[in-house]
Amino acid sequence: MTVLVWTGVALLGGLGAVCRFLVDRTVSARAPGGFPYGTLAVNVSGALLLGFLGGLALPANVALVVGTGFVGSYTTFSTWMLETQRLGEERQIRSAVANLVVSVVLGLAAAGLGVFLGGRL
């Protein structure tokens, strides 16, 4: 890998993390209750974007820089799991199960839609 690829991953990774923070905070501030809507919005939109990039069939280095750098730092599996675990600890079992199911279903649908849209370009 070249220095340019490493630099691109680092820069886009930072941008992805900032975007995740902004989207999560914006959605969470407007959402009711303790359900992690911000993380859901981040992960579903990230799945859509990664699917779209996959559908574009980008060159390997470009896909690595954008997919790993930006989308990898934008989306967050660990926060999703921690928030689900927290909901379980708080005995909000329906919310915990909904967080798992809705995230997987919407994430897969968004990724599929992204692949479809990207493949059309």
* Segment 87-106, tens digit of pLDDT: 999 999 999 999 999 999 99
- For the entire predicted model, the pTM comes to 0.93
- Residue 72 annotated in ligand binding: yes
* Segment 40-85, tens digit of pLDDT: 999 999 999 999 999 998 998 899 899 999 999 999 999 999 999 9
Parse the chain into domains and list their residue ranges.
3-119
Q: Are 107 and 44 in contact (CB under 8 A)?
A: yes
Query: Alpha-carbon distance 74 to 95, whole Å?
Result: 23
Confidence (pLDDT) at 43: 98
3-state helix vs strand vs coil in the chain, percent to 5:
85, 0, 15
- Residue 75 annotated in ligand binding: yes
Of the candidates 57, 61, 79, the one whose C-alpha atom is nearest the C-alpha of residue 12 is 61
Query: Alpha-carbon distance 13 to 82, whole Å?
Result: 21
* Segment 39-50, tens digit of pLDDT: 999 999 999 999
Q: Are 5 and 61 in contact (CB under 8 A)?
A: yes
Q: Are 112 and 51 in contact (CB under 8 A)?
A: yes
